[in-house]
Structure 1
């Protein structure tokens, strides 16, 4: 038999996004003091204030034991319990940073976040994309323009036009941000116009 995760569907190349999976972040656990050895604690995910999934963890020196139940595609519930080993690296300003060592078969990558399917594994094993990697060029440009609008306190939405300079902001900063904003808006609108033109051309070919 193969190791943990061998033969699972996550080598089939489906490009789902990281946001499609429940995640555990070792940095958050360290921040909340949950990585000290000989602790037992639970972790849960909620939707609309209601718990939709949970796991139990037990900490040991240099590893955590994950225990939970799961099922796929309406199959029977299956119990899982396995260790995820930790690695620590020194920070430039002192202290140490923790990492998970991916427990999936033949992996062992050092990562900060694991994503839960049948087992918790790194995004490389599940072949997950970040949401921004699935954006179209016009969506990406519009998102960047909206980030600038948020900094400027303008109404969201690139079709809403410009707002005023925020009180206390230097004119040089304001002009730099508005120049960047306008460039992203032009890219987004040009991409949309190009796609619509291609779409109308494809319709013409059917007439």
Structure 2
């Protein structure tokens, strides 16, 4: 399977969850693929082209993963091992499935396993989330866009502002627009600093990113 993500940053130890191919037990459960006795293939694609695939066989309270893997262009090695499933009750009825990370010494209960030489949890692969690598101005732009979605404005801080959504209180609208404008100022200042247009100043960034209620 080309290592199922093993070549995209895993060896450097500083990859993010975005860099790795993931196997989500919630998706398997939603698609009805955790019933014992099933055998099927799982693929990762990009623009319709298959990038990697594995074979999955379901048993009682576990799945068997089967694929080929190689490290740093070495010989292909067959991989086959079980991943234990755990089921927990949901508040509104039914059950939710979890993986137990199969990495040696782990066993942590998780929803997602990330592909490398083996499929393992985020902590075993030493993965960070993409947002953990954001600069202050990147984070500000993302938070401004979150507010824009709530206000039903067009995404993108360089786009114009819209009006007050129907049914929203004016006080709420004014608070959100003030927070939005503060995030935009931080983001634009950071972009200008990266382009060398202004000297970077971080004064007030913390207040903008964490506005007082």
Q: TM-score range by the shorter chain?
A: 0.7 to 0.9
- Shift in alpha-carbon separation, 1:15–1:136, aligned structure 2, 3 A: same
- 5 Å matches for 1:10-159? 14-159=13-158
- Equivalent-residue separation in structure 2 for 1:175 and 1:28 (angstroms): 39
- Equivalent-residue separation in structure 2 for 1:62 and 1:190 (angstroms): 53
Cα contact 2:190–2:200 (8 A) shared by 1: no
- Equivalent-residue separation in structure 2 for 1:142 and 1:17 (angstroms): 20
- Equivalent-residue separation in structure 1 for 2:167 and 2:47 (angstroms): 38
- Equivalent-residue separation in structure 1 for 2:74 and 2:167 (angstroms): 58
Cα contact 1:13–1:127 (8 A) shared by 2: no
Greater share of helix: 1
Unaligned runs of 5+ in 1: 1-8, 200-207
**TM-score, normalising length from structure 1?**
0.82
Instruction: Tell me what 1:204 maps to.
Output: none
Tell me how far 1:189 sits from its aligned partner: 3.5
- Equivalent-residue separation in structure 1 for 2:187 and 2:167 (angstroms): 26
| Matched residue SS, 2:158 | helix
User: How many matched pairs?
Assistant: 189
- Equivalent-residue separation in structure 1 for 2:110 and 2:23 (angstroms): 11
String of CA shifts for 1:29-59, please: whole Å, max 9, x gaps. 1111111111111110001111111111000
